[in-house]
Amino acid sequence: MQAPESNWDLLMKRMESLGLHEADLEESFVLGSGKGGQKVNRTANAVQLLHVPSGRMVKTGEERSQHLNRVRARERLCELVENERKEKRRERDAKRALARYRRRKPSPAQKAKRLEGKRRRGDVKKTRGRPTLD
């Protein structure tokens, strides 16, 4: 029987599937702030991750533990990349839908309405005569 995978292993698989490699990350530890009191305020337990190829930066200091903040920062980076990709996909699909809408054939009612407008305009033009000199 296989041992269950740890959260860290699952996170690494998620990062690999998104094309984020551990070697591309610059990790730094900065002073934390917020809940936790003196312990948090005087230790460098907040994690700042920079994904060098894309320039995305994530800072996390939610937890009192540096290890948990490292995990949270990577999770947040994955969420950021996933959301950006979803947004791009949404924009692309919207453009395709708009192009499809513009290429569609008009319904018979729309076609009849357009032709009626053309006939009316033609009748107006026919009633025009040459100016007469009186």
30-58 pLDDT tens trace: 887 777 677 777 788 889 999 999 899 99
Quick one: what percent of the chain has pLDDT higher than 90?
Answer: 64
* CATH assignment at residue 110: 3.30.160.20
For residue 55, tell me if it sits in a domain: yes
Of residues 42 and 104, the one with the higher pLDDT is: 104
For residue 134, tell me if it sits in a domain: no
Rg (CA), the chain: 31
For residue 83, tell me if it sits in a domain: yes
Residue 2 has pLDDT above 90, yes or no: no
What residues have CB less than 8 Å from 25, skipping those under 6 apart? 49, 50, 51, 52, 74, 77
For residue 131, tell me if it sits in a domain: no
User: Is this model's pTM higher than 0.85 or not?
Assistant: no
For residue 128, tell me if it sits in a domain: no
CA distance 44 to 67: 11
Confidence of residue 128 (pLDDT cuts 50, 70, 90): confident
For residue 130, tell me if it sits in a domain: no
Domain with 73 in it? 7-121
Tokens of 49: 């991750």
The count of domains in the chain is 1
